Amino acid sequence: MDRFVGQARLEWWANHATCLEKYDIDITVAVDAVGMWRATGRHANALDTTQREGWDYLMEMDPYFSIVFPGEDNGGILVRVFEAEAGTLSLTEAPDGDGSVSITFDLP
């Protein structure tokens, strides 16, 4: 695949068994000469208030999602998602690893 234009789905997994949320996106993917790829996209449907709050929370927690292309059951590619103020999404293939971060919560 040198280029793909269509729909895909971003999935945010809490662990190997629990997918917390799925987001449909319109996406354009381009692969460079060494096989690395970059993508841009937008949410396929406008997020309502609850979906937006969930999206913002997940992005703040850990902006790594699995991407699922048409015809796939599960995402095999971990991507780092950046969202511009205009709502444009930029996706880059995540480096090897699980994409997790360490977060500390201060409880009252």
Ordered DSSP codes for 44-103 = SS---HHHHHHHHHHHHH--EEEEE-TT-SS--EEEEEEE-TTS-EEEEEPPSS------
Amino acid present at 40: T
Q: Are 41 and 26 in contact (CB under 8 A)?
A: yes
In a domain, 22, yes or no: yes
In a domain, 35, yes or no: yes
Mean pLDDT of 5-30: 93
Taking 70 as the threshold, does the pLDDT of residue 11 lie above it? yes
In a domain, 10, yes or no: yes
Structure token pair of residue 33: 């000469």
For residue 24, the domain's CATH number is: 2.40.10
The structural domain count of the chain equals 1
Give the Cα separation of 11 and 69 in Å (integer). Answer: 11
Which domain covers residue 76, as residue numbers? 3-93
Looking at the chain, the whole-number percentage of residues with pLDDT higher than 90 is 57
Mean pLDDT of 64-92: 88
Taking 90 as the threshold, does the pLDDT of residue 108 lie above it? no
In a domain, 101, yes or no: no
In a domain, 104, yes or no: no
Report the predicted TM-score, pTM, of the whole model to 2 decimal places: 0.81
